Structure 1
Amino acid sequence: MSDIKTKFINAPERITAELLEGYVLAYPEQVKLAAENVVVRANPKSMDKVAIVTLGGSGHEPALSGFVGAGMLDCSVVGDVFAAPGAQRLFQALQLMKRDAGILLVVLNHSGDVMSANMACQLADRAGIKVKQVLTHDDISAGIHADTNERRGLAGCVPLYKILGAAAEEGKSLDELVEIAGRYNKNVATLAVAMRSCTHPQNDAVITDLPAGIMEIGMGQHGEGGGGQKPLISADATASEMVDLLCRQLEPKSQDRIMLIINGVGSTTYMELNIIFRKAYQELESRGMKVAVSRIQEILTVQEQAGFQMIMAVLDEDHIDYLKNKASDAPYWVTCGK
């Protein structure tokens, strides 16, 4: 570990606790800490409605706790930087969320998160807690039409939080929510590109070596490699290549209604993200598709990594309604409107 400081932190082992403390102090009307590293809504929904819970490591802010709030998540269970929170902490959260309507646990497909979720759900079952899981696996860097078990979860989970949160507020049952999530999961795909890797805030270690002037399409959630490195190309060429790959995965038809989100991952400017979105939008429209839901925002970051994630989905009408027309007060969703 270098003695040269590169980030505004205090003790490395206190990063997660201190960032969560600052977060809930800033948004006391929306969120609070119910237990160590367990963020919940400040004003819980009624117990006759399904609770939406997720888990994941810190270091990706605003994800995932930034989406706790009315109309989205009821609870986020936070691990250390880039690390799953562990089964016991998740089980504690499931106990806090226990209700007759049940709990839907949204899990990103990463080994630590999956292991924690499976163990916690076993404990919950023994304790009489009604919980079902939905696994997100939107990353297509493993290959077009690769087995879903090989596909990692990326920022495509965030729109799903909005869809499920809105549907749960409407009073949909646990089984109905699983069905809604399943349709979304089958029709969403994400691809990440980076041109500079991130450093781990606790030890300053560089996750992946990306030389100056080199880009990599297929980067993972923590800066892991996943695709081939090549010289950096223009914004239009990058966007076109990524749209083509995502369309090969989703196989959308003319007149399909599409969600297009460009997610900045840490240090790429909104200038660049807007330029990327412009070309991606044009590519989709030229193929006869209609962009019905769109967003340019940092919803899930990878520390100071330079690059972005392009998230695309073919949406059903109820997905569009939940994304566009249902209110949420989650601190990091309302910044761009509904």
Structure 2
Amino acid sequence: MLNKPVKKPTKIDQLLQSSRQISDESAGGRAEIAKGIVSALLGPSPETPSMKIPLSKICRNPFQPRVEFNPQELKILADSILEAGGLIHPIMTRRLPNGDYELLAGERRLQAHEKILLWPEIDAIVRDLDNATSAKVTIIENLNRVDLSDFEKSRALPILRDHNAATTNVELAKILGCDEKLIRSLWKFQSLPPVILDQLMITPRILTVTFVDEVLAWCEKGFEAIVAEALKLAAMGKLKNKGILTFIERKAVARNGLKISKGHELKNAQAQHLATMLVGRSKITLEIPRGVDISLIERAVSAAITEIQTAETPE
């Protein structure tokens, strides 16, 4: 029986593996590997001198997952550009059919020119890339930065999939430098209602991947207005992480007029204790003593569920 030939890892495979092995605190290391991956994707290129491009001719990249840019960091960057007398590293663009240019790498440098320096032109290198390669270059260049939020990472998934840059969770995990479990969790962001996504586009760090599953569960139960209220408070710094879930649960229970609370005692017809029902954020847990007839528990739980179903529906 012949052994199947082992596929030799490509340079990109090796760089992505290195990226996964570097801790999130090592910003410099991940950035250098990101540059290597981008260079491997672009392939060999002749020494192309940069050119001056009017800012009015540069379009934002539709594959850009980042939505948050720190104003103080932009100011520091603008000061360094001014001190150096211009860009040391030009931005990267590609030429569009209409004669304009699309940004590939250098969003912060471009914003520093637009918002702070107010210079009409910027130094840029022009590359000839298709959509799939453009998506990979832009996303990898940004995803290998440690300050990207979980929501921003999730925005990269449909971009890569829709442009055939990665069609499976395995391929997405490879590009993002993580495991498939994280990819599945990040997809949950994209299932949130539009009103929640709009809030995250403004303040992407208020919800992390750790809590997105439970937040989505509350939305699917019809409480998205309460979720939106909680996230607005989080954006103001009044709620954080588990505090968001606690707020949602309390408001949902109060609005629905539920009679069942944490530690509700289930009793039989003779008012004898059967079990304790704990109502959590998105699940119900039963604490059943030994020797209790399970059929009695089932009837008691059924009665409790009926009570929930007949309560007021959320507004």
What TM-score range do you get, normalising by the shorter chain?
under 0.3
- TM-score, L = length of structure 2: 0.27
- TM-score, L = length of structure 1: 0.25
Higher relative contact order structure (alpha carbons within 8 Å, sequence separation ≥ 6): 1
Larger radius of gyration: 2
Return the structure number with greater strand share: 1
